[in-house]
C-alpha cells in the first residue's frame, strides 16, 4: 500500500495501542475523543488530498528509493522544484484546515535524517544511512506519519545536558547491549505526537564530548513499551465537550502538541540512526531548523488566508466592507500573508544539493522566513480583531442564541446587515475568536514564535550565514575605496 485513504489512516491509528493521558485520565478511545479528534481530522486531510485529481501533483511524489508513487509527506526532496511544491502543499493544507496539520515536522525530520546519516557514515564509517533508508522505505510503503521528537524539557537552561541536576531532562541512553539501547527522558511540545504512527527522535542542541549518551537519534512505534503521551491543553479546548457547535469556531479541525515520556524504552539497533556521534548534533539541528523554518512560509500563509477571508466576511456582514480604513486593513493582511509565502518559496527556489543527493533550502532565507513568521501573524491577527470589532470578546453563547425565551432577542440585536442571518455573523465571529484567541491561536501565534526555534535562534543563524565581507567590498567599490 503506497497511498493510504483517510479511512485507512483512521483504521491504522486504531491498531496502535498508544497510551494517552488527557485531563487527568488515561483516554482509551482517544481517536473519538472530541478534544483530540479535530487534530486527527487535520492529518487525515493530507491523505484525502493525495487522492484528489486537482491536488495530486502537489500531494504525491515519486520515491527516490523505489520509484513508486508516494505521499509527498514521506518524500525526500530531490530538486528545488520539490522544495517549492512542499511549500505550496503546506499552504493548501493551511487553507483547508485553518490549523496546524502536524505532518510537516515529520517530513522535515525525515529529510534531515536522510542527509545527516549519509554525512555521518562518510565521516565515521557507520551504517546509519542504510538503516535509515530501510525505515524510510517502510514509512513510504505504508504511508505512515512520524512526529519530529526533537525538543527536550531542558531543565536548567543555563546548564548543558551533562551538567543537569536531573540528567533525564535531556533524553539519554541509560543502557546498551548488542541488540540495542535503552533510553530514558522526555520530548516536549511535540506536534502531532499522539496522531502519528512513529516518533522520529533527534537531539535538540549541539553536544560536547561528555554528552555522547545524549547524542542519539532513533525511531520507535507510538505504542512501544515504556512510552506514553500527555496531551497538551489549548485555550478554550473544553468548548469541544459542550453540546452544539456554534461556540467552537473551527468546527472540524485543530492541532495538537504532547509531552512524550520515554520510561526505559528499548530501541533495537536497526532503528538507531545516531549513537554517540556528538560532533554531528549541531549539523543535525541546524539542518532540521532550516527545513522547518522554510515550511512556515507555507503553512502560516495558508492559515492566514482563512483569517483574511473571515475578516472580509465579517466586514461585509457588519456593513463596513466599503469603508476605506477597513479596505486598507484587509489589503495589509493580504500583503503580510503573501510576504510569508514569498519567503518560503524564495528559500526553496534557492535550494542546493546536499552530499547525499537530496536537496536543502537556502538556510539564510529560511531563517529570514521564520523571523518574519515570529512577527507578521501577530499583525494579521491584530488587524482581524480590529475589523471584527468588540463583539469578538462579548458574544453570548450558543445556549443564549437558541434559548426559548431570550434567543429571539439575541438573534435580533446581534444581527448585522438585515438580509444576512444572525447565525452567519455569530459563526464567523467565533471562527475569528478561535483563530486569534482560542485553540487556533496556538497555531497562528504561539507556534509562530516558538515553533522551529525562538526568534533569537533565527537571528543567530542569519548573522552566521551573512557574508559581511562581501557586503563591505560592495560598499568600498561603489565608494571608490577598492
Structure confidence at residue 273 (pLDDT): 98
Based on the domain organization, do 454 and 314 belong to the same domain?
yes
Based on the domain organization, do 250 and 113 belong to the same domain?
yes
Average pLDDT (234-252) is: 96
Dihedral sign for Cα 292, 442, 320, 402, please. positive
Based on the domain organization, do 124 and 230 belong to the same domain?
yes
Average pLDDT (177-185) is: 97
Domain that holds residue 180: 10-279
Average pLDDT (220-231) is: 98
| Cα 35 from Cα 277, distance rounded (Å) | 40
Based on the domain organization, do 213 and 134 belong to the same domain?
yes
- 3-state secondary structure at position 125: coil
Based on the domain organization, do 124 and 182 belong to the same domain?
yes
Q: Where does the pLDDT of residue 1 fall: very low under 50, low under 70, confident under 90, or very high at 90 and above?
A: low
Residue after which a domain boundary falls, among 279, 295, 321: 279
Number of separate domains in the chain: 2
Q: How many CB atoms lie within 10 A of CB 276?
A: 18
Structure confidence at residue 398 (pLDDT): 97
pLDDT at residue 74 is higher than 90: yes
Q: Where does the pLDDT of residue 482 fall: very low under 50, low under 70, confident under 90, or very high at 90 and above?
A: confident
CATH number of the domain to which 78 belongs: 2.40.110.10
Structure confidence at residue 2 (pLDDT): 77
Q: Is residue 127 part of a domain?
A: yes
Average pLDDT (83-105) is: 98
Based on the domain organization, do 158 and 242 belong to the same domain?
yes
Q: What is the pLDDT of residues 95-149, one digit of tens each?
A: 999 999 999 999 999 999 999 999 999 999 999 999 999 999 999 999 999 999 9
Residues forming the active site: 100, 104, 191, 257, 292, 296, 299, 447
Based on the domain organization, do 203 and 91 belong to the same domain?
yes
- 3-state secondary structure at position 291: helix
Based on the domain organization, do 259 and 320 belong to the same domain?
no
Look up cell 520509484; give the residue. 67
Q: Cα–chain-centroid distance for residue 30? A: 21
Based on the domain organization, do 265 and 288 belong to the same domain?
no
Q: Is residue 237 part of a domain?
A: yes
Structure confidence at residue 355 (pLDDT): 97
Q: Is residue 355 part of a domain?
A: yes
Based on the domain organization, do 273 and 248 belong to the same domain?
yes
Q: ∠ CA(76), CA(80), CA(81), 5° rounding?
A: 90
C-alpha cell recorded at residue 279: 560532533
Amino acid at each position: 500500500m503506497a497511498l493510504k485513504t483517510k479511512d485507512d489512516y483512521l483504521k491504522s491509528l486504531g491498531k496502535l495501542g498508544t497510551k494517552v493521558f488527557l485531563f487527568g485520565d488515561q483516554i482509551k478511545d482517544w481517536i473519538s475523543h472530541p478534544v483530540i479528534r479535530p487534530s486527527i481530522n487535520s492529518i487525515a486531510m493530507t491523505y484525502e488530498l493525495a487522492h484528489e485529481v486537482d491536488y495530486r501533483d502537489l500531494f504525491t511524489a515519486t520515491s527516490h528509493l523505489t520509484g513508486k508513487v508516494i505521499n509527498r509527506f514521506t518524500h525526500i526532496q530531490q530538486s528545488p522544484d520539490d522544495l517549492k511544491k512542499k511549500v505550496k502543499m503546506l499552504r493548501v493544507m493551511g487553507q483547508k484546515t485553518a490549523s496546524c496539520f502536524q505532518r510537516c515536522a515529520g517530513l522535515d525530520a525525515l529529510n534531515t535524517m536522510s542527509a545527516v546519516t549519509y554525512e555521518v557514515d562518510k565521516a565515521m564509517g557507520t551504517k546509519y544511512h542504510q538503516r535509515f533508508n530501510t525505515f524510510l522505505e517502510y514509512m513510504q510503503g505504508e504511508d505512515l506519519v512520524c512526529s519530529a521528537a526533537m525538543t527536550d524539557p531542558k531543565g536548567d537552561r543555563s546548564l548543558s545536558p551533562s551538567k543537569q541536576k536531573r540528567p533525564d531532562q535531556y533524553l539519554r541512553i541509560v543502557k546498551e547491549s548488542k541488540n540495542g539501547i535503552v533510553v530514558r527522558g522526555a520530548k516536549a511540545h511535540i506536534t502531532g505526537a499522539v496522531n502519528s504512527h512513529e516518533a522520529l527522535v533527534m537531539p535538540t542542541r549541539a553536544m560536547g564530548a561528555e554528552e555522547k549518551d545524549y547524542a542519539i537519534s532513533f525511531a520507535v512505534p507510538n505504542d512501544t513499551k515504556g512510552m506514553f503521551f500527555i496531551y497538551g491543553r489549548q485555550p478554550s479546548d473544553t468548548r469541544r465537550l459542550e453540546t452544539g457547535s456554534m461556540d467552537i469556531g473551527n468546527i472540524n479541525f485543530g492541532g495538537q502538541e504532547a509531552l512524550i515520556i520515554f520510561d526505559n524504552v528499548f530501541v533495537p539497533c536497526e532503528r538507531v540512526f545516531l549513537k554517540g556521534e556528538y560532533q554531528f548534533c549541531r549539523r543535525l539541528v541546524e539542518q532540521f531548523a532550516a527545513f522547518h523554518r522554510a515550511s512556515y512560509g507555507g503553512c502560516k500563509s495558508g492559515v492566514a488566508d482563512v483569517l483574511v477571508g473571515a475578516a472580509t466576511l465579517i466586514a461585509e456582514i457588519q456593513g463596513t466592507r466599503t469603508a476605506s480604513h477597513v479596505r486598507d486593513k484587509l489589503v495589509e493582511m493580504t500583503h503580510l500573508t503573501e510576504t510569508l509565502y514569498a519567503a518560503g518559496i524564495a528559500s526553496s527556489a534557492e535550494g542546493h544539493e546536499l552530499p547525499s543527493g537530496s536537496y536543502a533550502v537556502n538556510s539564510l532565507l529560511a531563517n529570514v522566513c521564520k523571523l518574519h513568521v515570529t512577527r507578521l501573524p501577530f499583525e494579521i491577527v491584530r488587524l482581524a480583531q480590529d475589523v471584527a470589532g468588540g463583539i469578538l470578546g462579548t458574544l453570548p453563547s450558543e445556549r443564549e442564541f437558541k434559548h426559548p425565551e431570550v434567543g429571539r432577542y439575541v438573534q435580533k440585536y446581534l444581527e448585522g446587515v438585515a438580509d444576512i442571518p444572525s447565525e452567519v455573523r455569530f459563526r464567523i465571529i467565533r471562527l475569528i475568536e478561535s483563530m486569534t484567541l482560542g485553540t487556533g491561536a496556538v497555531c497562528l501565534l504561539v507556534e509562530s514564535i516558538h515553533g522551529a526555534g525562538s526568534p533569537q535562534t533565527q537571528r543567530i543563524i542569519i548573522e552566521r550565514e551573512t557574508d559581511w565581507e562581501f557586503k563591505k567590498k560592495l560598499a568600498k567599490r561603489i565608494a571608490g575605496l577598492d
